[in-house]
Amino acid sequence: MAGRGTDIMLGGNSEYLAREEMKRLRYTDEQIEEAMAFNETDNQEILASREKFRALVKKYDDEIKEEKEKVIKVRRTKNYRYRTT
């Protein structure tokens, strides 16, 4: 239903995918939460996990962007064909 406060994200959610990847890499839930936090810290382990999380988010952002562009291109092609037939 439209207007229910939910947007469709073509390709997925990069932060969710990054969290799942960190789980596969055997980061604990606590480490993942710290990686996603914005509080100041000098803890090198936390800083390293934040760097890894940001790198994974960027990786998935790039993949999602490519997939989104493909979907939009196909959609435009189908719309054009529909209007011209």
Instruction: Look at residue 23 in the predicted model and tell me its pLDDT.
Output: 98
Contacts of 71 (CB under 8 A, 6+ apart): 10, 11
Read off the pLDDT of each residue in 7-15 and give the average, rounded to a whole number.
74
Residues 19, 59: contact at Cβ < 8 Å? no
Does the global pTM surpass 0.75?
A: no
Instruction: Look at residue 77 in the predicted model and tell me its pLDDT.
Output: 77
Query: 29-36 and 14-24 are packed helices; what angle lies between their axes, rounded to 10 degrees?
Result: 140
Residues 21, 74: contact at Cβ < 8 Å? no
Instruction: Look at residue 29 in the predicted model and tell me its pLDDT.
Output: 97
Query: What CA–CA distance (Å, rounded) separates 43 from 7?
Result: 36
Each residue of 61-84: pLDDT tens digit?
999 888 888 888 887 776 655 555
Each residue of 12-48: pLDDT tens digit?
799 999 999 999 999 999 999 999 999 999 999 999 9
